């Protein structure tokens, strides 16, 4: 999962893109990058780290230009030591920078075709670089001079025909403008906004509407599945729907965990969705456990707060904040490695003993993925004096890998895979465990938008909407992307004489060389 933004303005965009990335930081904590284009040419700054750490004053003053794009990265395949910060760049045709949120399920096939048939060189193992080269090849094959909107749209249509998976893309074509598009299933989110200035219309595309809010843009709408958006440098907006088959099946886990509650995704309020998840969960508790003895409902901050408030209200019991969160620790789910996730839980949360002492406590979380956090939090509640510790998940059991851009690649690392609820309850150490069922989750999310008939629920149901995910593919992904594989890749890096993280093999060294800033 990553956050992307593209912007065409009547004024320099560097600071605005920085501000937008700070509110998309929850979508990726591994790396950040900004590219801008204007009369000074292409300027790029990208590196590993949080937005505030990657960009300093000396970088920002050089990010000139009225056209730009940004990216925050959360690795699905690499680790925190990856050299694959985005955006990626190719110099032909025109010079193109591209950033991407999602995952291509036919990466291996595409990478082979690019090198053998399209005669393009790949520096990294990133599917974002593959997407960039597919788009660049298709655009180059259609243009001889200045690219027209129709040629750009034809190139995007060719990308859709060649690529499979979940992806939202923003690309900057130097001297032309911003191109953005979404996969034909609309799995990954993308929204477009507009702002009117004295100099003319300004446009923005971003992963979540909160990025538009912070910059004062009006949210126009969500980019439709398969649709291509082209914003010329002079602020002229062009749109074209995909001529092929589309089916709107957005990722339901965006609403469960990833998106900010103040965002609107696919015309659905994330906040209202989580309120309804709490209502559905409370109703399920009443049906399955009518004689419950819960004294207090306590959320696991932050994502589950909205649902937990509704659970407490509908059960008629007290709601209390029992854990204080250290705001300077990142989101444990998206930390790149089991050891790092486990180590961070107690650094991240501290219990308020008086809210637990001699009480039967219901802890509410948004979901249970690996079980690491849940197990440690339950232990903390018992150490704080709770009599009984019950645990409720506002989402169904996560039993299957997610292959569309969320780091759930290894079934063996999912605590619910191959286990029933009683077994999971015993493993995490709870006195009782409750899950919201899948029908209840779907009802919670689609409430305001009946036009969406179904969602990508693959991590809960094992049903993959693109239709090309086989058991062999899932096994290959598990072998490549489990925590052990990430640890092996991390061991290939070393710290050089300047104190910078550097790769220890030739292929990754080539990748690292592409990650340097242009003109900085």
Helices (H), ranges, 334-482: 338-348, 372-383, 421-428, 438-445, 458-461, 471-481
Catalytic residue, from 2, 163, 425, 459: name it: 2
Q: Write the DSSP string, 355-386.
A: GTTT-EEEEEES--SSSHHHHHHHHHHHHTT-
Distance CA 455, CA 252 (A): 6
Tokens encoding 233: 């440098």
Long-range contacts of 146-155 (CB under 8 A, 24+ apart): 146/176, 147/93, 147/94, 147/173, 147/176, 149/230, 149/232, 149/238, 149/240, 152/176, 152/179, 152/228, 152/230, 152/238, 153/228, 153/230, 153/238, 153/240
Half-sphere exposure of 479 (CA within 13 A, CB side): 6
Name the one residue in this structure whose structure tokens are 């789910």.
333
Q: What are phi and psi of 242, to 5 degrees?
A: -70, 135
Residue 248 near residue 186 (C-beta atoms within 8 A) = yes
For residue 2, indicate whether it is catalytic: yes
CA gap 338, 348 in Å, rounded:
15
Alpha carbon 16 to its chain centroid, in Å, reads 21
Query: 318-319 and 296-299: which strand pairing?
Result: parallel
The residues that bridge with 167 in the sheet, in sequence order, are 102
Phi, psi (deg, nearest 5) at residue 165: 130, -160
Tokens 């995007």 belong to residue: 156
Place of tokens 């990553």: 2
In angstroms, the CA 221 to CA 113 distance is 35
Residues noted as catalytic = 2
């Amino acid at each position: 999962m990553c956050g992307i933004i593209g912007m065409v303005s009547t004024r320099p965009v560097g600071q605005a893109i920085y501000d937008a990335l700070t509110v998309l930081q929850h979508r990726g904590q591994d790396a950040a990058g900004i590219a801008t284009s204007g009369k000074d040419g292409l300027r790029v700054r990208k590196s590993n780290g949080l937005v505030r750490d990657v960009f300093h004053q000396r970088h920002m003053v050089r990010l000139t230009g009225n056209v730009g794009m940004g990216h925050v990265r959360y690795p699905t395949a690499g680790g925190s030591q990856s050299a694959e910060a985005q955006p990626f760049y190719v110099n032909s045709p025109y010079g193109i920078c591209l950033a991407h949120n999602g995952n291509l399920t036919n990466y291996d096939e595409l990478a082979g075709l690019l090198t053998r048939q399209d005669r393009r060189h790949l520096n990294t193992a990133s599917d974002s670089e593959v997407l960039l080269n597919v788009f660049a090849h298709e655009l180059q094959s259609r243009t001889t001079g200045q690219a027209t909107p129709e040629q750009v749209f034809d190139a995007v249509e060719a990308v859709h025909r060649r690529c499979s998976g979940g992806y939202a893309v923003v690309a900057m074509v130097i001297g032309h403008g911003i191109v953005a598009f979404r996969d034909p299933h609309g799995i990954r989110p993308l929204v477009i906004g507009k702002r009117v200035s004295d100099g003319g219309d300004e446009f923005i595309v971003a992963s979540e509407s909160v990025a538009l809010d912070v910059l004062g843009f009006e949210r126009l709408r969500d980019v439709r599945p398969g649709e291509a958006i082209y914003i010329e440098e002079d602020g002229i907006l062009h749109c074209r729907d995909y001529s092929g088959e589309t089916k709107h099946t957005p990722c339901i886990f965006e609403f469960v965990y990833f998106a900010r509650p103040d965002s609107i995704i696919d015309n659905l309020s994330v906040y209202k969705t989580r309120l309804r998840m709490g209502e559905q969960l409370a109703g399920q508790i009443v049906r399955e456990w009518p004689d419950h003895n819960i004294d207090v409902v306590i959320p696991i901050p932050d994502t589950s707060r909205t649902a937990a408030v509704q659970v407490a209200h509908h059960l008629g019991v007290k709601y209390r904040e029992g854990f204080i969160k250290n705001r300077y620790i990142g989101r444990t789910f998206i930390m790149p490695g089991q050891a790092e996730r486990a180590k961070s839980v107690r650094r991240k949360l501290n219990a308020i003993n008086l809210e637990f002492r001699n009480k039967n406590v219901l802890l509410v979380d948004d979901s249970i993925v690996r079980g690491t956090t849940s197990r440690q939090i339950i232990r903390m509640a018992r150490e704080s004096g709770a009599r009984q510790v019950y645990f409720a998940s506002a989402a169904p059991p996560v039993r299957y890998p997610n292959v569309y851009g969320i780091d759930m690649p290894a079934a063996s690392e999912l605590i619910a895979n191959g286990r029933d609820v009683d077994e999971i309850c015993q493993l995490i150490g709870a006195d009782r465990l409750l899950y919201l069922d899948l029908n209840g989750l779907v009802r919670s999310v689609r409430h305001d938008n009946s036009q969406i008939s179904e969602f990508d629920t693959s991590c809960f149901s094992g049903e993959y909407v693109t239709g090309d995910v086989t058991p062999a593919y899932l096994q290959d992904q598990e072998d490549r992307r489990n925590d052990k594989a990430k640890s092996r890749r991390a061991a290939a890096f070393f710290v050089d004489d300047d104190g910078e993280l550097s790769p220890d093999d030739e292929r990754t060294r080539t990748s690292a060389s592409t990650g340097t800033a242009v003109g900085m």
